[in-house]
Chains A and B, each alone.
Chain A
Amino acid sequence: MDENKAAFEPRIIAFVCNWCTYAGADLTGTSRIKYATNVEIVRFPCTGRIDFMLLLKAFAAGADGIIVSGCHPNDCHYTSGNFHARRRWIVFRGLLDFLGIDVRRIHYYWVSAAEGAKWAEVVNQTVAEIRELGPYTEYKKVANYIEETEAAHE
């Protein structure tokens, strides 16, 4: 790992479901497991409720990586929300990849309420991988762009 990458602290946004992953992350804390502090958690009732636009908004707002995590299959609090989400992510990933958006920066996990240790692990792993990829500057550049008619933007 070169020096620049070591100095770079990735900003990770995690979209998690309330019933499994959020509780799991809570358990990580109460179990006093130490893990990377780069993650900001946004809690949703269910992975099925996570609009794909939120992922794009996270990148536009400066995220370098994204975690999407919810209940394991058959464990959804609403029976099938995670199944619907899974199908949506399959389609969405395909489209993003075709557009050249870096799908390696979006990590999907199932983390249950009992998997406090796994949460620490997936965050650490995501941070390490995003650190390796570096900041997502190509997306940020586009996000802040408005017109090429002013000298300031040249």
Chain B
Amino acid sequence: MTLIGEIIAVFLTLAIFSFLYKDNPAYRFAEYLIVGVTVGYGLPLVYKNAFQPFVLQRIFVEHKFIFLIPVFFGILFWFRFSRNYGWLSRYPIAISMGMVGAGVTMSMNSMVLVQVRQAMIPLETFNIFLIFLGTITVMFYFFFSKAHTGLYGKFSRIGIWYMMIGFGASFGYTVMARISLLIGRLQFLADTFKGWIA
């Protein structure tokens, strides 16, 4: 069984690699298979980890019939694809969207205000000054209510340089990321073949 598994895994890996040559049936087979298998894999997990404890046990074992209300709303999700009753699905969606309110103040807090605080720390070293300069010039660049002319324009040009260096950093890291994935696969192939030979 282990050997069969390995053969399948190697075959599927090579099937995907064959895309490098060109799009072909083996690639497409693997491609379509993964979609089905992934969803199929999730189904029993959802049943076991969510449906059973949160729905079945609550109603049939604990007899907490108040939970029939969320079950009702949950079922309304399924009307999403109905032509005439599609609007019913808006109710559960609306309920799940409610938490967006928490997102407003919390994102404002963490993504904006905390960063603003960090941007105004005392300029004790030259590096902190450079960071300060970079932050405000990049913000100038993304300020659309004033044309980039004169001194202001020059100032926002500095922002571009900062951004380019920043993107360069992302670029360098991304190269590493892509190669890492390939390393992982080649390592797998090498190990498997080694195992077969042994």
Do A and B originate from a single complex? no
